[in-house]
Amino acid sequence: MNKNSTPRERELEIKMKLLANFGSMVSKETKIDPLLEIIAVQVKTILGCDRCSVFIYDKKTNSLWSKIAIGLQHTEVRVPLGTGIVGHVAASGMSVNIPNAYSDPRFSKELDRLTGYSTKNILATPLKNISGKIIGVFEAINKFTRAFTDEDEGILKLISSLAASAIENAKLYQRLSESQLETIYRLATTAEYRDQQDTAIHLRHISEYSSLIAQSMGLTQENIEIVRYASPLHDIGKVGIADAILLKPGKLTDDEFEEMKKHTLYGAKILANAESDLLRAACKIAASHHEKYNGKGYPNGLKGEEIPLFARIVSVADVFDALCMKRVYKPKWDPKDAHDFIMKQSGNDFDPSVATAFDRIFPEILKLQQNTTDGRKSIIPGISKKNNGMF
Ligand code: C2E
Ligand code: SIN
Ligand code: SIN
Ligand code: FE
């Protein structure tokens, strides 16, 4: 920093740095709640005010919602369009700078009553998407020094244009993964796993074990999520296998096993040509989860790294869980024996780095097994049914 610069110049320079930092922070976050949190914290820092709330417009209810701290809890509050400052800004599409909230007739004291907060001054600006539609409102409250200035207003407008595109992306991302998950649930339950008594538990195990292994191997958060949600589809191709084979209560003949092997090809076909990363991964997993590291698996005899990593991971999770579960053709194994089997086959059936990761997180796997037999119901972890009503 130039030491001849005036305090004013220094202040501007700091603001520019904060803004640049803001842009890079918000573009990295794809989940809506943490994103809104980051935005609020950043705005408070940049504008030097006590509170910042981001209200998101919900078309369905024609209202704006925000998560606001009430005591120690974050509670969702809703403001109808046209009501209060926030509702007014959303309806008019114009920013407002209010030096004294309680003397403004548009101000609604409702939120202050709820939060026990005392609003003095407000700077609120609309959040617009690229096509100019209002997607929400930014509200900065109680500037520390004086009332908000015109410069603050300019900065908030700038921030809101950056934030709006990040929020749009996060909404898109969320919508995408919600619809993808729905597809997965549908597919997985249609497949019905006719060969297993407890479909839900098996799906959940595969999902949890695979994502734990992926995590232990140091995969990115995104890839861990992909493994978590794609792995339950690995045996979807079993829908194409006749009951006489799938449900046979004993050892399969060679011919029958040849038929059985086709579940990998059927699965790959069902999931072929998908556009999402998630379903593309699911397709590879379905196709290659019975390949073996030494090249002696099926359907293609792929070897080592030729086998997609996700499939090498699911292979360990699948065999471990199959061994631990009762099947029409076999009794269940003790988990310790199943673990030893995996480790013994490391380098033969399984990728040694996957087996090592499995070994590392084995205590957690045992814990999960315990939990699921205790009757936790949801098939796949990490999915909350809560809908913010954004769409
Ligand atoms: P699955 O029952 O889900 O088993 C998945 C994989 O776990 C098996 O793939 C195998 O690698 C491993 N596995 C399961 N049980 C045992 C076991 O008792 N010993 C050992 N060493 N490994 C075991 P695999 O062999 O390619 O089988 C694929 C699918 O074919 C099985 O899925 C199952 O649905 C069916 N299958 C395999 N063998 C038989 C059988 O003898 N009778 C019947 N009815 N189905 C079978
Ligand atoms: C309002 O929109 O009038 C309420 C402002 C606030 O959040 O305190
Ligand atoms: C086979 O029958 O060859 C597969 C072994 C098994 O899954 O028990
Ligand atoms: Fe399989």
Q: Is the CB of 139 under 6 A from ligand 2?
A: yes
Positions of CATH 3.30.450.40 in the chain: 7-172
- How far apart are the C-alpha atoms of 68 and 45, rounded to whole Å? 18
CATH assignment of 193-373, among 1.10.645.10, 1.10.3210.10, 3.90.1310.10, 3.40.1390.10: 1.10.3210.10
Within 6 Å (CB) of ligand 3, which residues are found? Answer: 251-252, 257, 330
Q: Is the CB of 260 under 6 A from ligand 1?
A: yes
**Nearest CA owner, ligand 1 atom 25:** 290
| Residue that has been written with the tokens 């050892």 in this structure | 251
pLDDT at position 195: 55
Identify which ligand lies nearest to the alpha carbon of 260: 1
Residue 28's alpha-carbon distances to 31, 33, 379, in angstroms, are 9, 13, 29
Q: Is the CB of 252 under 6 A from ligand 1?
A: yes
Reported as type and span, the H/E element at residue 51 is: strand 49-58
CA of 285 to the centre of ligand 4 (A): 10
pLDDT at position 377: 41
Residues 6+ apart with CB under 8 A from 327: 195, 196
CB 246 within 8 A of CB 237: no
Evaluated on CA atoms 279, 281, 284, 286, the torsion sign reads negative
Residues 6+ apart with CB under 8 A from 5: 13
CB 161 within 8 A of CB 140: no
- Say what the pTM is: 0.60
CA of 153 to the centre of ligand 2 (A): 17
CATH assignment of 7-172, among 3.20.20.70, 3.40.640.10, 3.10.450.350, 3.30.450.40: 3.30.450.40
- How far apart are the C-alpha atoms of 22 and 162, rounded to whole Å? 9
Structure tokens at 170: 């996060």
- The amino acid sitting at 93 is G
Positions of CATH 1.10.3210.10 in the chain: 193-373
238 is catalytic: yes
Q: Which of 67, 171, 238, 284 is catalytic?
A: 238
Tell me if residue 328 falls in helix, strand or coil: coil
Taking the CA of residue 112 as reference, the ligand 2 atom at the shortest distance is 8
CA of 105 to the centre of ligand 2 (A): 12
Residues 6+ apart with CB under 8 A from 112: 118, 119
pLDDT at position 316: 98
Nearest to 386 by CA among 178, 81, 186: 178
Residues 6+ apart with CB under 8 A from 67: 33, 36, 74, 75, 76, 77
> Going residue by residue through the chain (391 aa), what tens digit of pLDDT does each one get?
556 778 777 777 777 777 777 777 777 777 788 888 888 888 898 899 999 999 999 988 999 998 876 666 778 889 999 999 999 999 999 999 999 999 999 999 888 888 888 999 999 999 988 778 899 999 999 998 889 999 899 888 888 887 887 888 777 777 666 666 666 656 665 655 555 556 667 888 898 999 999 999 999 888 898 898 889 889 888 878 888 898 888 899 999 999 999 999 998 988 888 777 888 899 999 999 999 999 999 999 999 999 999 999 999 999 999 999 888 888 999 999 999 999 999 999 999 999 999 999 999 999 988 876 544 444 343 333 332 222 1
**Nearest CA owner, ligand 3 atom 5:** 251
Residue 32's alpha-carbon distances to 167, 173, 253, in angstroms, are 7, 9, 53
Q: Phi and psi for 68 in degrees, rounded to 5? A: -125, 140
| Residue that has been written with the tokens 């209200």 in this structure | 55
Q: Is the CB of 322 under 6 A from ligand 1?
A: yes
Structure tokens at 263: 């579940």
Identify which ligand lies nearest to the alpha carbon of 85: 2
